[in-house]
Structure 1
Amino acid sequence: MSRTNRLQELLGRLRHHDGPLGGQELAEALGVPLRTLYQDIAVLRAVGVEIVSEPGQGYVLPPDVPLPPPALRAPGVEPSAELVFYTNPLSRGGIVHWMLEELGISYRREVLDYGAPMKAPDYLSINPMGKVPAIRHGDVVVTEAAAICAYLADAFPEAGLAPAPDRRGAYYRWLFFAAGPLETTLSLSSLLGVHPSPAQEMQLGCGNSEAVVETLAGAVRDRRFIAGDAFSAADVYVGSHIGWGMAFGTLPRRPEFEAYWAGLEARPAQRRAAAFVDEARQYAAGS
Structure 2
Amino acid sequence: MSRKTRLHELLQVMRQYEGRIAGPSLAEALGISIRTLYQDIAALRAVGIDIASEPGVGYVLAPGQFLPPLAISDEELEALVTGLERLGENSLDPLAMPAKSLLESVRQVLPDARQQPATPSTEASIQQDVGDQGAPLVFYTNPLSRGGIVHWMLEELGVSYRMVTVEYGPAMKTPEFLAINPMGKVPVLCHGDVVITESAAICAYLADAFPEAGLAPPPAERGDYYRWLFFAAGPMESALGLYSLGVQPTAEQSMRLGCGAYSAVMDTLASTLQGRRYLVGDRFSAADIYVGSHIGWGMQFGTLPARPEFQAYWAGLCERPAQQQCQAFVAEALAHAR
TM-score by length of 1: 0.74
Which residue, out of 166, 169, 178, partners 1:124?
Answer: 178
CA distance in 1 between counterparts of 2:258 and 2:252 reads: 12
* 8 Å CA contact 1:201, 1:207 repeated in 2: yes
User: In the alignment, does 2:237 pair up with 1:183?
Assistant: yes
1:161-211 C-alpha deviation (Å, 9 max, x unpaired): 00001110000000000011111011101x210000111111100001100
Equivalence for 1:144: 198
5+ residue gaps, structure 1, are 1-62
* 8 Å CA contact 1:68, 1:158 repeated in 2: no
Alignment of 1:23-42 (within 5 A): none
Which residue, out of 269, 272, 275, partners 1:219?
Answer: 272
CA distance in 2 between counterparts of 1:183 and 1:90 reads: 17
Alignment of 1:243-282 (within 5 A): 243-282=296-335
User: In the alignment, does 2:283 pair up with 1:230?
Assistant: yes
SS at match of 1:135: strand
Q: CA RMSD in A?
A: 1.8
Equivalence for 1:43: none
* 8 Å CA contact 2:141, 2:164 repeated in 1: yes
5+ residue gaps, structure 2, are 1-90, 93-115, 123-127
Which one has the largest radius of gyration? 2
Equivalence for 1:28: none
CA distance in 2 between counterparts of 1:243 and 1:123 reads: 29
Overall identity of the aligned pairs, in % = 65
1:68: how far off? 10
TM-score by length of 2: 0.63
Equivalence for 1:90: 144
Counterpart of 2:319, as a letter, is A
1:58-102 C-alpha deviation (Å, 9 max, x unpaired): xxxxx99xx997245744631110110000000000000000000
CA distance in 2 between counterparts of 1:248 and 1:103 reads: 27
Equivalence for 2:187: 133
Give the 3 Å change call, closer, same or farther, for CA 198–100 of structure 1 in structure 2.
Answer: same
Counterpart of 2:171, as a letter, is P
1:220: how far off? 1.0
Higher relative contact order, chain-length normalized (CA < 8 Å, sep 6+): 1
1:23-62 C-alpha deviation (Å, 9 max, x unpaired): xxxxxxxxxxxxxxxxxxxxxxxxxxxxxxxxxxxxxxxx
CA distance in 2 between counterparts of 1:71 and 1:157 reads: 9
* 8 Å CA contact 2:117, 2:132 repeated in 1: no
1:79-129 C-alpha deviation (Å, 9 max, x unpaired): 110110000000000000000000000000000000011001111011100
Q: Which runs of 4+ in 1 moved over 3 A?
A: 71-77
CA distance in 2 between counterparts of 1:266 and 1:239 reads: 12
Aligned residue pair count: 220
